[in-house]
Amino acid sequence: MANYHFVVCVKNEGYEVSLEPRKLYQVLTDPEAAKHHQIRVIDESGDDYLYPEGLFLDVTLSEYVADQVAHVV
């Protein structure tokens, strides 16, 4: 199984079309973005974009659940 990272959106001010509060989003590793306090998530468009990290909280899921969520179509 792969190692997936998820966050939950806690606010979407300024990003109402792209992000939904209380929804899980998959994070893609982007060390350069992290240096600027941003994270790369797969948003409502289905593509990955950078957002301020303060819009999200980390979520810990079991490996099995994270794998299942990551593969939802």
CATH of the domain at 42: 2.30.30
Amino acid present at 47: D
- The reported pLDDT for the residue numbered 73 is 65
Report the domain count for the chain.
1
Q: What is the pLDDT along the chain (73 residues), one digit of tens a residue?
A: 578 999 999 999 999 999 999 999 999 999 999 999 999 999 999 999 999 999 999 999 999 999 998 888 6
- The reported pLDDT for the residue numbered 5 is 94
- The reported pLDDT for the residue numbered 3 is 87
Contacts of 50 (CB under 8 A, 6+ apart): 30, 33, 38, 39, 40
Query: Which range of residues forms the domain containing residue 56?
Result: 5-70
pTM for the model stands at 0.88
Q: Which residues pair with 24 in a beta bridge?
A: 8
CA–CA gap between residue 46 and residue 49 (Å, rounded): 9
